[in-house]
């Protein structure tokens, strides 16, 4: 291959495999954000959620990172759309599924037995998988932002849209780090199912860890060690977290995980 970093036929094949999934996820991200904003803003759901959240104990309010009754509540509830479980599933779907399919899955299916006997450097496989996810996540985050932007224009939302752009940038860095982590984990496995289980298990463990320290004030000192603290849209919009710090740490995690996967995949038995 002429290019030392890009493996164009491989990227083209992955796009060919994932084209419908990608279209579905992009449409899902746009429409979810639009309809989320519509439900919150136009249907009077905002008042209902605010009243409901006020009834919750402070620990539960901490879990959602929202301050019902304040002027910023509408902004907080709208930005929660960027961290809603539905959008989290949409954004983490490709990193989790593709890392397992295109590394461990190909080892398990023996498709690498032909593919890796072609004139390509081995580390281009996890490298280009990462590049694909980098591009796919960029479009997904853009779709998420586009959904909110359409709603912003259509419903005349009283928000500072540039804040949402920064949150989206943080989301991008966070999900890219998740992709790099998933690729690193999958590079150690020879079975797709095991790889998938370990990646999902790890993410669920991290999520529960984060939920526990948010529910329990006495454990707040552990926040700096929680992976999901890197992407807290409501805290970012309230200025409680630094966008640049989150992006920097996420990028660092991405680089380390990518290096692990490149080194491991180059040396491992197929």
Partner 1 sequence: MTPTIIETKNLSKYYGKTCGIEDLNLQIKTGEVFGFLGPNGAGKTTTIRLILNLLRPTFGHVLVFGKRVETHYYRIFKNIGVIPGELKLYEELTGLYFLEYMNNLSSGAPVLRNELLEAFQLKPEHLRKKIKQYSHGMKQKLAIIQAFQANPDLIIMDEPSEGLDPLNKNILYQYVRRFKEKGKTIFFSSHYLAEVDKVCDRVGLVKDGRLIAEEQIGQLKKKMVRRMEIKFSREIDTTVFDLPDVQIKSKTGNEIILNVSGDLNPLIDILAGLEIENMIFPEPSLEETFLTYYEEPIFTGPVSEKNSP
Of 19 and 54, CB closest to partner 1: 19
Is 120 an interacting residue with respect to partner 1 (CB under 8 A)? Answer: yes
Of 84 and 194, CB closest to partner 1: 194
d(CA 189, CA 187): 6
Of 55 and 269, CB closest to partner 1: 269
Q: Which of 47, 55, 117, 224 forms a contact with partner 1 (CB under 8 A)? A: 117
Output the smallest distance, CB 91 to partner 1, in A.
24
Q: For residues 103 and 183, is the Cβ–Cβ distance under 8 A?
A: yes
Is 20 an interacting residue with respect to partner 1 (CB under 8 A)? Answer: no
d(CA 98, CA 128): 12
Q: What is the dihedral of CA 144, 145, 146, 148, to 10 degrees?
A: 90
Of 128 and 170, CB closest to partner 1: 128
Q: Which of 38, 73, 112, 207 forms a contact with partner 1 (CB under 8 A)? A: 112
For the chain, the maximum distance between any two Cα atoms, rounded to a whole number of angstroms, is: 63
Output the smallest distance, CB 121 to partner 1, in A.
5
Is 270 an interacting residue with respect to partner 1 (CB under 8 A)? Answer: yes
Is 15 an interacting residue with respect to partner 1 (CB under 8 A)? Answer: no
Closest CA to 181 of 67, 92, 48: 92
Find the part of the chain contacting partner 1 (CB under 8 A) among 86-94, 96-104, 115-123, 212-220: 115-123
The H or E element spanning position 144 is: helix 124-154
Question: Is the C-alpha dihedral spanning 171, 255, 187, 262 positive or negative?
Answer: positive
Q: At what angle do helices 243-267 and 161-186 cross, to 10 degrees?
A: 20
Is 119 an interacting residue with respect to partner 1 (CB under 8 A)? Answer: yes
Find the part of the chain contacting partner 1 (CB under 8 A) among 4-12, 72-80, 145-153, 238-246: 4-12
Of 53 and 262, CB closest to partner 1: 262
Find the part of the chain contacting partner 1 (CB under 8 A) among 5-13, 55-63, 92-100, 197-205: 5-13
Number of residues that bind partner 1 (CB under 8 A): 26
Q: Which of 111, 160, 242, 244 forms a contact with partner 1 (CB under 8 A)? A: 111
- Local structure of residue 56 (DSSP, 8 states): S
Q: Which of 19, 54, 121, 245 forms a contact with partner 1 (CB under 8 A)? A: 121
For the residues of 57-124, what is the DSSP string, one character each? -HHHHHHHT--TTSTTHHHHHHHGGGT-HHHHHHHHHHHHHHHIIIIIHHHHHTTHHHHTTSS--TTH
Q: For residues 136 and 95, is the Cβ–Cβ distance under 8 A?
A: no
Output the smallest distance, CB 263 to partner 1, in A.
13
d(CA 112, CA 227): 33
Question: Where on the chain is the footprint of partner 1 (CB under 8 A)?
Answer: 1, 7-10, 13, 16-17, 109-122, 267-270
């Amino acid at each position: 291959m002429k290019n030392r970093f890009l493996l164009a036929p491989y990227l083209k094949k992955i796009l060919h495999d994932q084209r419908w999934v990608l279209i579905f996820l992009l449409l899902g991200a746009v429409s979810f954000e639009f309809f989320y904003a519509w439900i919150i803003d136009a249907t009077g759901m905002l008042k209902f959620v605010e009243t409901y959240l006020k009834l919750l104990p402070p620990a539960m309010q901490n879990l959602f990172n929202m301050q019902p009754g304040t002027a910023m509540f509408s902004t907080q509830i709208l930005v929660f759309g960027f961290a809603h479980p539905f959008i989290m599933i949409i954004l983490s779907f490709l990193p989790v599924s593709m890392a397992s399919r295109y590394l461990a899955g190909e080892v398990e299916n023996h498709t690498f037995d032909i593919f890796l006997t072609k004139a390509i450097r081995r580390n281009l496989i996890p490298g280009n998988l990462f590049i694909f996810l980098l591009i796919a996540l960029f479009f997904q985050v853009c779709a998420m932002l586009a959904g909110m932007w359409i709603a912003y224009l259509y419903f005349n939302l009283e928000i500072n849209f540039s804040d949402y752009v920064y949150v989206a940038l943080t989301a991008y860095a966070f999900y890219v780090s998740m992709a790099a982590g998933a690729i690193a984990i999958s590079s150690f496995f020879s079975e797709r199912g095991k790889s998938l289980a370990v990646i999902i298990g790890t993410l669920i463990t991290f999520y529960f860890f984060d939920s526990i320290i948010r529910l329990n004030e006495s454990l707040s000192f552990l926040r700096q060690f929680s992976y999901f603290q890197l992407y807290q849209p409501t805290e970012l919009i309230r200025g409680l977290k630094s966008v640049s710090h989150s992006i920097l740490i996420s990028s660092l995690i991405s680089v380390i995980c990518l290096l692990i996967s490149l080194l491991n995949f180059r040396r491992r038995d197929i």
